[in-house]
Amino acid sequence: MKILKKILLIIIIMIPYLVSSIMLFYTYTANQSNLQKQVEIFQQSLSMTETQMHFFTAIIVLLSNILVFIFTFFLIKLLLLIFDRNKESKNEDLFFALVLGYTAANMTSLILNDWFRISFSIFMNYIPIIDLITFTSLYYFFSKSKKFTVIVFVIKTIIILTIIIL
């Protein structure tokens, strides 16, 4: 019963992140005419209705965001274990900080685009910085460990720089 409650809590906590990811994808697609055309061509080639295409797109966006989250979580966790000989760090601290950091970055993107009409091309390079700052701050807030916060900050910075370069 305890495991079921924990899984249910994880699912509930992931919902805002996943919903904000879907909203961000559709907002970004709506603002990019060439991307809209590519989606329409893809829809026509698969002979899908608009509803089917939205469902298919939402599933793809959800799966890709879950995979990115899992990859980032386990990479940070693995590298953190190398430095954590006494097993002081907690997975929950990392999980909550990562979920809330990603959600805050997604919501910041949506707010900047919707309220201030700033195009995605302008602030897409700054959103990873917001994610990094939010994630690091939340990790320190949850863990209260300066040592692990610095390690997590460096790891997350390397991940973000790798993504930007690629």
pLDDT of 95 = 95
Question: What pLDDT score was predicted for residue 75?
Answer: 94
Q: Give CA–CA dist 32/113, Å, rounded.
A: 13
Structure confidence at residue 124 (pLDDT): 79
Question: Residue 105 is encoded by which pair of tokens?
Answer: 């970055």
Q: Give the integer Cα–Cα distance in Å for 126 and 151.
A: 22
- Give the structural domain span for 87: 2-165
Which pLDDT does position 119 carry in this prediction? 82
* Cα separations in angstroms, 83 against 10, 135, 155, 158: 26, 19, 12, 16
Q: What domain count does the chain have?
A: 1
Instruction: State the pLDDT at residue 108.
Output: 92
In this prediction, the residues of the chain whose per-residue pLDDT falls under 50 are none
pLDDT of amino acid 110: 92
34-49 pLDDT, tens digit per residue, is: 888 888 898 889 888 8
Per-residue model confidence (pLDDT) at position 164: 84
Residues 6+ apart with CB under 8 A from 86: none
pTM reported for the whole predicted model:
0.90
User: What pLDDT is stored for residue 126 in this prediction?
Assistant: 84
